[in-house]
Each structure stands twice: as C-alpha cells, then as structure tokens.
Structure 1
Amino acid sequence: MKISCFVLAILVFLQSCSKEKTDTQQPYDDINFRTYWNPGTAEINSYALQEAQFGNLNNGEAIMVFSTEDFRKDKHVKLETKDREKAVKVLKLNFIKRFVTGIHDFSLYTSVFTPVQTQEYPSTLKVSNTNQDWSGQTFLQLNFRQNGYQVLGKSYFDEEIEDDYHIDKALLEDELWTRVRMNPLKQLPVGKVILVPGLSSLRLRREKPAPAIADVTLQPYRGDSTFRGDSLYAYQVKYVESKRSISIIFEKNFPHKIAGWEESYLANNKVLTSRGILKGSIQNPFWQKNMPSDTVYRKKLNLKY
C-alpha cells in the first residue's frame, strides 16, 4: 500500500514546515529520568474511561503501564540474553482499554517501544495492537524498517483478513504517550505534522494505518476541572481529512504524568468524545506481585475490572 508520489511530496513538504522542538540533551542523560524510570519498577496508572463506539459513550476502564527495558534492535523484542550491543533502552508503554457495549465487552491492548536515546534512535521501533470483542480478534503491528514502517495485520473479519505493506516514515500517534513522558515541551512537534493515527482507534473504525496530515498545538490546559494535576498542558492533534481529534493532558513538570485525554470524531452527523480521567497511580514491580494478597495494589488503583 503506497501513497502516490504527488501526495507524498506534499506530506514531506508539510513535515518540513512543522516546528520541531529540538533539545541537545537526550532524556536518558538526565539523572532524574534515569532514577525515576529505574528498570526495577514500573509506573502504573488507572483511568476512568468513557469510550465512543456504536454511536454511544460506553463506560469502562483504562490502564497505562510505563517502564524501561532493553529492547533488541534487530528482532524488536525484549532482550533476554547478555548481548547488550544488540539492544537499545526503550520507554515501553502497555496501554489497555476495557469497556462494555450493551451485552458484550471490548478489550484493546497497545504496546509502544520508544528509544530514550532520541538522537541516535529518533523513531519508535515498534507498536503492536490487539483488539478483542465477542465477534472476534484482530492483530496489528508496525515495525520500523527501511526508514518507514512495515505494517502487519491479521483479522477475523472478511474484508481485512491480512495486511502486509510498507508506509513511509511518520510520527505515530501511539508514540505521543511515551514522548510526553520524556521532554514534551522541547521535543513534541507542532504545526502541520504527518501522523499515523492510533492503532486502536483505526481498528474500531475499521481503517488501515496510513500517514495523515494534522494540525498540532501544545499549550497550557485551559479547560474545566475535569483533569487534575500541577501546571497542566494540552497536546492536541486535529486530523485535517478525518476531522478526528485527540488531546493529551499532562503535567508540565517531570515526570510529566498524564492526567487524561479526550478523543473526538464525527459519526452519523454526531460528534462523540471519548475521555480518560486519571484516578490512581503507583510505582510497582508488578511482575513480582502475583500472589492473591497482591490484589491490594489493584484497590490502590481503584480498579473495578
């Protein structure tokens, strides 16, 4: 699946016009960053969720699990050997959404792997996504290859059984969450930006990954008290063609916790706005907390499901 040369030329020109906020210091050079994102623990955040689907807002829950790990540059998997030269340090996000539509439920799971050595590895290496509901399952994965992304997909649905194609390099919407946690005020691009929309949103709308033009702003949050935190900022993406928009609300100061988000799109002449609002946050080596007594941590996160 290729974009035409004419459209690609326009996209490249617009990308060059975007206002990149560069910073010579990489996130992992900062002692506060290395201390907070210690490989021995993870940051777990829970959110009250309202997810738009089937023309309605549906109640649910979302979880964001951030951690750092050594990630193989060749195979795009977690390093489990001593071959350190094959790995790069990444900030990993596991982003889970669960919500109910009528009698049946949805479970959306996205994993993002973004290098913290941003000068040497400026692109996110991998994003994978699975969506499950009572109808069936879908799988979608983007791997950074040949200065772009290889798209691999599998689906239960007849019209999208299998995808295997290459798209040109662009910023991924799914990596905005990890980049917010690094150095957002200096590194996030604004203006006309080429983005690949979030994989979960694409799968819910039955659309394929492809670069799209968006108007992007970064400014202090000026909304109501829905989102809470210190010195909040809003990073807003408005897609020109689809009219879909997403706004990530985060704290200005390190570690730039994400207070929530809003995602709006037009369906059947009605604008629906999904929303996630932070309700709990802990740092925890969850992979070690697998005994029945460890459910106490779920209570600290106010998890219902």
Structure 2
Amino acid sequence: MKQTITKNFLLVVLALAVVFAFAMKATVFQQSTPASAPPAAAPPNPAFAGYWFAGKAELNHYRLQQAQYGVLNPGEAVLIFVTEDFRTDKQVKAETDESRDKAIPVLKTNISKKFVTGIYDYSLFTSVFTPINNPSFPNTLKVSTSAQEWCGHSYLQANYRNNGYEISGKSYFEKEVDEAYTIDKVWFEDELWNRIRLNPDKLPTGEVRLVPGTMTARLRHTTLEPLLAKTKVDAYEGVLYPGKLLRAYTIQYPTDDRTLMIVFESTFPHKIVGWEETYRSKDALLTSRAVLTKTIQNDYWKHNAPADSTLRAELMK
C-alpha cells in the first residue's frame, strides 16, 4: 500500500489540488466574469458647477392665480431649486458621512402654492429629486406631494423601483384614503421643471407619455397614470412674463383637455419666469397663471431666526 501511494504521489497531490481548486472556485472554468464598473457621471461644466454647487439654493417668488371651484383664486407660489446628496437605496437626503457612500447628487425642486378660496385657504407642496447627469440613475428617483385645506389633507408619493414607480398615498378623502399601486417607467410632468434647469435641449418633444402633475391630481382628485401628451418648445413672444430670450415648453393632454406651458430663459441658468395651466374646473375652462416677481440665491436653511425675516420680505416683495 505504501509503495502504491509513493509511486502515485504526484497524482494524489494533483488530484487533491484540483479538488481544492474547485472547492475554492479557482479554476478558469468557474471564475465569474468580473462585473463591469458602472459608468461614471460626467463632471458638470464650470458654469453649472459654479451656480448649482456653490452651497446656495435658488429661490423664486411668483404672483399666482389658481383655478379651483370654477373660479380663479389669488395666491402666491415659491419655486426652490437646490442640489443635495440623495440616497439611492432609501431615497432620502444623505445626512451622515456613512450614508453619503450610498448617495448621488440630485437637483431638487420644491414648489409651494398657497391660495385662498372664499373663507378658507389651500396649501400645496411638491418635492422632486432628479439625478444630475448620472448614467447609472437616469430616472427621477422620487416625487412627493402634500395638500392641506380646511376639509382635510392628503399625501402622495412616487418611488422609482424595479424599473417602474411605486405609488403610495393617504388622504382624508374617501376615494384616496389608502392608495398603493404601480405605474410604468415614464417621465413625470413634475420633473420637467428640473429637466429645464439641467438641460432644456433634452426635453422630450413630440408625442410622449407623461404622468400629469401631482398637485393638479390632488386638486381634481384623480389617480396618477401615464397619459399621451403632445409636447413642443417654441420661442415665447408674449409680454406677460419678465426676461429676455424666453422659450415656452408646452405640454398638451388631448384625452384630459389640459395644457401646461412653462416659460423659461433660453440662456443658462434657464430660470423659470412663469407658467400657465389650463383645464376645466367645474363648468369653466380656466387658466391658472404664475408670474415671477423675484429671484434670490440663499442658503435659506441657515436663516431661521426672527432677524432673517428681512430676507423673506426681500423675496416676497
């Protein structure tokens, strides 16, 4: 027996090496092809970086006329744009050094509308989080909207997951009391504000499918679903909105009898100077309109003392 092992020692060693190699997945046949690294985001150009990564937000105040209950109601809107690090897993702002490894830069839209209907008021707020030129995450990651008025309040959220959007909602109103459904991966109307600021030359034109605005869906008590829209970009030739070299992005929904036009500056940073939205409210076809009155850049999250009310007065005048 000893002689047999001695004579075949090399074969025994080779056999044991092969068994060990298979156990460790070290053979050429078992080695998995290394995963290619995700494409890196291209660095922003100096003008973009200087404006959007300077540690300040862009704050815009608008004079508003908002359709509701068949009439136009006076109010005001504030449109805020700011960049931040946004976690792709939990889809929330990264606030610790550890979580920033899971985050990417996004451009965030915050839009607030407040208006009065008769004796009571409405307050609407939408946030949209769109990655900045990231090929691994080309889609808007999250849209959320809340609405408060004296009858009650509601909340609606869309999260990008599994190549589509998961919609969840809670509401005082019976038909919206507890919503949970999914929709196809398409662009949201709400993200078009960010897309204009990022690169208006890449706005979708022609016939496209879009999810209509979430604020309007709450005001009209409609469910979110992609609709066919006809879109175009033209030079704006009217006189209602301030600014020079203005362009107008128009979104028309033929099946919903609704149109949105966003007016913006054609030159960087493509400031949004106003918008108008036409749809039927009760029996009247009305056009809501917002006109820019003031823009400032400010790190507003640092200015929350009573003395900072002067900054608010400057914005709201």
TM-score normalised according to structure 2 size: 0.85
Moved more, 244-253 or 39-48: 39-48
Aligned residue for 2:316, secondary structure, equals coil
Aligned residue for 1:64, secondary structure, equals strand
Q: List, as ranges, runs of 4+ consecutive aligned residues in structure 1 with deviation greater than 6 Å.
A: none
Q: Tell me if the contact between 1:148 and 1:168 (Cα under 8 Å) persists in the aligned partners.
A: yes
Aligned pair count reads: 277
1:34-55 CA-to-partner distances (Å, cap 9, x unmatched) read 1101252111000000000000
Q: Tell me if the contact between 1:131 and 1:203 (Cα under 8 Å) persists in the aligned partners.
A: yes
Q: Tell me if the contact between 1:129 and 1:199 (Cα under 8 Å) persists in the aligned partners.
A: yes
Q: 1:38 maps to which residue?
A: 53
Tell me how far 1:189 sits from its aligned partner.
0.7
Q: 1:266-281, aligned counterparts within 5 Å? A: 266-281=280-295
Q: Output the CA distance in 2 between the equivalents of 1:149 and 1:140.
A: 12
Q: 1:196 maps to which residue?
A: 211
Tell me how far 1:266 sits from its aligned partner.
2.1
Q: 2:136 maps to which residue?
A: 120
Q: 2:162 maps to which residue?
A: 146
1:73–1:193: structure 2 CA closer, same or farther, 3 Å change rule?
same
Q: Which amino acid aligns with 2:250?
A: Q
1:46–1:27: structure 2 CA closer, same or farther, 3 Å change rule?
farther
Q: Tell me if the contact between 1:27 and 1:183 (Cα under 8 Å) persists in the aligned partners.
A: no
2:251 is aligned with 1:229: no
Aligned residue for 1:124, secondary structure, equals coil
**Runs of 5+ unmatched residues, structure 1:** 1-25
**Runs of 5+ unmatched residues, structure 2:** 1-40
2:126 is aligned with 1:110: yes
Residue number among 47, 72, 83 corresponding to 1:68 in the alignment: 83
Aligned residue for 1:301, secondary structure, equals helix
1:2-33 CA-to-partner distances (Å, cap 9, x unmatched) read xxxxxxxxxxxxxxxxxxxxxxxx78521111
Q: 2:297 maps to which residue?
A: 283
Tell me how far 1:271 sits from its aligned partner.
1.3
Q: Output the CA distance in 1 between the equivalents of 2:128 and 2:279.
A: 23
- Aligned-residue identity in percent: 49
Q: Tell me if the contact between 2:126 and 2:215 (Cα under 8 Å) persists in the aligned partners.
A: yes
2:206 is aligned with 1:172: no
Q: 2:3 maps to which residue?
A: none
Q: Tell me if the contact between 2:69 and 2:282 (Cα under 8 Å) persists in the aligned partners.
A: no
1:71-120 CA-to-partner distances (Å, cap 9, x unmatched) read 00000000012233300100011100000000000000000100002433
Q: Tell me if the contact between 1:45 and 1:281 (Cα under 8 Å) persists in the aligned partners.
A: yes
Q: 2:104 maps to which residue?
A: 88
Residue number among 57, 62, 67 corresponding to 1:52 in the alignment: 67
Q: Output the CA distance in 2 between the equivalents of 1:28 and 1:218.
A: 27
Q: 2:9 maps to which residue?
A: none
Q: Tell me if the contact between 2:245 and 2:267 (Cα under 8 Å) persists in the aligned partners.
A: yes
Tell me how far 1:229 sits from its aligned partner.
0.8
Superposition CA RMSD, Å: 1.4
Q: 1:204-215, aligned counterparts within 5 Å? A: 204-215=219-230
Q: 2:36 maps to which residue?
A: none
Q: 1:22 maps to which residue?
A: none
Q: Tell me if the contact between 2:70 and 2:283 (Cα under 8 Å) persists in the aligned partners.
A: no
Q: 1:184 maps to which residue?
A: 200
Q: Tell me if the contact between 1:62 and 1:97 (Cα under 8 Å) persists in the aligned partners.
A: yes
Tell me how far 1:302 sits from its aligned partner.
2.4
Aligned residue for 1:181, secondary structure, equals helix
Structure with max Cα Rg: 2
Q: Output the CA distance in 2 between the equivalents of 1:267 and 1:231.
A: 33
Q: 1:222-261, aligned counterparts within 5 Å? A: 222-223=237-238, 225-261=239-275
Tell me how far 1:222 sits from its aligned partner.
2.1
Tell me how far 1:180 sits from its aligned partner.
0.6
Q: Output the CA distance in 2 between the equivalents of 1:189 and 1:297.
A: 37
Q: Tell me if the contact between 1:48 and 1:60 (Cα under 8 Å) persists in the aligned partners.
A: yes
Q: 2:276 maps to which residue?
A: 262
Q: Output the CA distance in 2 between the equivalents of 1:262 and 1:179.
A: 18
Tell me how far 1:159 sits from its aligned partner.
1.7
